[in-house]
Amino acid sequence: MKYLLYVTMVFSLFSCKKEAVETYQGKNGVSFFAYTYQQLHTTAKRSYSFAFQSTVKTRDTMYIPLRLTGKLSDQPRTVLLKVAKGTTATAGVDFELKEATIPPGVSTFNYPLVLINSAGMASNVYKIVLEPAETKDFTLGTLGQTPPTNGSLNTEENFRYLTIEVSGMYTRPSYWDGLEADFGEFSAEKYKFMVKVLGITDFSYESIGLAGSLNFPVTLRNALAAYEAANGPLLDENGQKISFP
């Protein structure tokens, strides 16, 4: 009888501890995130130009990666971004921010930022400075670097503010610093040529990956050689000869 009572007490003790962990209620957080090799995000800056799109668009969607911290949920939750100091674009005119629904059981989410090709885009570069807004489901999440884990071999960076530069002009993308060694100096005419040859408009490393950074310059050099054989040198908007490393 004493033995049975002892076993019952031990079982109850472990059951209480497990229950205490599972029912812990803490405020979950959200922040911008990227892996450290993604220069586009570690600078906390992105860019978009309607001029660089393969077809004319009146609006487009840019997906912003978010990191969720806290417990995973088996229920859908809502997340929202808000504008911060330094924003020069106008909400409802140049962009739209809406609550987005996060599906159950995920720890990362791509927030859809809607960009609008407003009249001012043709002659301006607007800034949209974003930060996570507090909702019924989330507050500001963990910031700073997170070391690699078994699930991820890369150091992760989590940050509060993200700046989007949006325009309808041929402006140098913020991620071009990471491309210069492979694609050479930026020019609008070079970018147009790249879009025409490769059929894509986003050349950020997160989009083209290692394979693209190695293979695309070869494809572009061959295409440029064929163009020059038929038409002579391809010049940029400043009269300089276009080339690829």
Whether residue 8 is contained in a domain is answered as no
pLDDT in tens, 158-180: 889 999 999 998 888 878 887 88
Please tell me whether residues 143 and 203 are part of one structural domain. no
Please tell me whether residues 178 and 160 are part of one structural domain. no
Please tell me whether residues 193 and 76 are part of one structural domain. no
Reported confidence tier of residue 156, pLDDT bands at 50, 70, 90: confident
pLDDT in tens, 210-236: 899 899 999 999 999 999 999 999 999
Whether residue 126 is contained in a domain is answered as yes
Please tell me whether residues 190 and 155 are part of one structural domain. no
CATH of the domain at 125: 2.60.40.2030
Reported confidence tier of residue 207, pLDDT bands at 50, 70, 90: confident
Rg of the chain over CA atoms, in angstroms? 24
Average pLDDT, the chain: 83
Sequence-distant (≥ 6) Cβ neighbours of residue 159 within 8 angstroms: 31, 32, 33, 44, 143
Length in residues, the chain: 245
Whether residue 47 is contained in a domain is answered as yes
* Residue 198 phi, psi (nearest 5): -95, -20
**What is the arithmetic mean of pLDDT over 149-166?**
78
Whether residue 241 is contained in a domain is answered as no
What is the count of structural domains for the chain? Answer: 2
pLDDT in tens, 10-32: 444 444 444 433 333 457 899 98
Please tell me whether residues 95 and 216 are part of one structural domain. no
**Among 112, 142, 167, where does a domain finish?**
167
Please tell me whether residues 182 and 161 are part of one structural domain. no
Whether residue 5 is contained in a domain is answered as no
**Among 167, 197, 223, where does a domain finish?**
167
Whether residue 56 is contained in a domain is answered as yes
Domain of residue 186 covers 174-231
Please tell me whether residues 38 and 159 are part of one structural domain. yes
